[in-house]
Amino acid sequence: MKKGKKLYEGKAKIIYATQDKDLVIQYFKDDATAFNNQKKSTIEGKGVLNNRISEHILSNLSQIGIKNHLVKRLNMREQIIKLVEIIPIEFIVRNVATGSLTKRLGIEDGTVLKEPLIEYCLKDDNLGDPLIAEEHIYAFEWANKKEIEKIKKMILRINDFMIGMFRGIGIKLIDFKLEFGRIKSDGKDEIILADEISPDTCRLWDSVTDKKLDKDRFRKDLGDLIPAYTEVAKRLGILHEQSNVSAVNVTKLSSVKKKSK
Ligand code: UDP
């Protein structure tokens, strides 16, 4: 598949056109941002790991009937995905209270929630992705009730599946962010899961030690982000007994190859 012109560049990914109007290429960058873009860095190898981890999770979700935008992974950093009309809402799913929830409501960090909690944030960097109520979604027609009901059902299935998948490899799924989009299917709008699911968008704690294996290592300056993401990939069985360094080396190799062309 030939890569066409750049359509969009976000904080961690770039979207390129292809010859097929319904498909685009998603490129995973090494850039890391936090706190609404106030903290920025480049962490070599992060994009490679997120590409692999997200591919793994989305293809497993596909197998349990959760339709999503992934078509196939192309290489270390790129995937072909379906072009969707993204719903401008970040759906935050929480199993354990931490992060912004604890700060906002004074809840003790680590409180296990009786039921998964779904929160909605408006996807708008200029406004700092503000928390909104479900009523705002209808008032401003960001999505309709039928779509939100469908999305909520999908979210609960995704959460159940992911909790189990991570539990099996000694990881607690604390919280995560999902995005959904619309595609036309037989002339009708259909809602599918979009964006990535990776340690950039999930909080993952080791089941025994509570060690953070996600982007909080960057947000909180804990260091060792690549070894943590590599650990997640290894436990998921998608990186074999390669060292952390190998993901980085492959990145270097691919950039050397490109330059020498
Ligand atoms: N999250 C994300 N992108 C965002 C905001 C949140 O992927 O723009 C994820 C984040 O990684 C965490 C969950 O959503 O797994 C809940 O985030 P929270 O609101 O606690 O974020 P904080 O403000 O603490 O970074």
Buried b (16+ CB within 10 A) or exposed e, 124-157: eeeeebeebeeeebeeeebbeeebbeebeebbee
228 neighbors 239 (Cβ within 8 angstroms)? no
Pocket test for ligand 1, best of 36, 50, 100, 107 (most atoms within 8 A of CB): 100
Which one is the CATH code of 87-206: 3.30.470.20, 3.30.450.40, 3.90.550.10, 3.40.190.10?
3.30.470.20
72/89 Cα distance (integer angstroms): 25
The CB of 99 under 6 Å from ligand 1? The reply is yes
Task: Write the pLDDT tens digit of every residue in 91-135.
Answer: 999 999 999 999 999 999 999 999 999 999 999 999 999 999 999
Which one is the CATH code of 6-84+225-246: 3.40.1210.10, 3.40.50.970, 3.30.200.20, 3.40.50.2300?
3.30.200.20
- CA 92 / ligand 1 centre spacing (Å): 7
Predicted confidence at residue 252, as pLDDT, reads 45
pLDDT along the chain (261 residues), means of 10: 94 97 98 94 98 98 98 98 98 98 97 98 96 98 98 98 98 98 93 98 98 98 97 94 49 41 35
186/188 Cα distance (integer angstroms): 5
User: Ligand 1: which atom is nearest the Cα of residue 214?
Assistant: 11
The CB of 13 under 6 Å from ligand 1? The reply is no
pTM of the model as a whole: 0.92
Domain 6-84+225-246 and domain 87-206, same fold? Reply is no
For 163, the token pair is 């909790």
151/200 Cα distance (integer angstroms): 21
The CB of 102 under 6 Å from ligand 1? The reply is no
Q: List the domain boundaries for the chain.
A: 6-84+225-246, 87-206
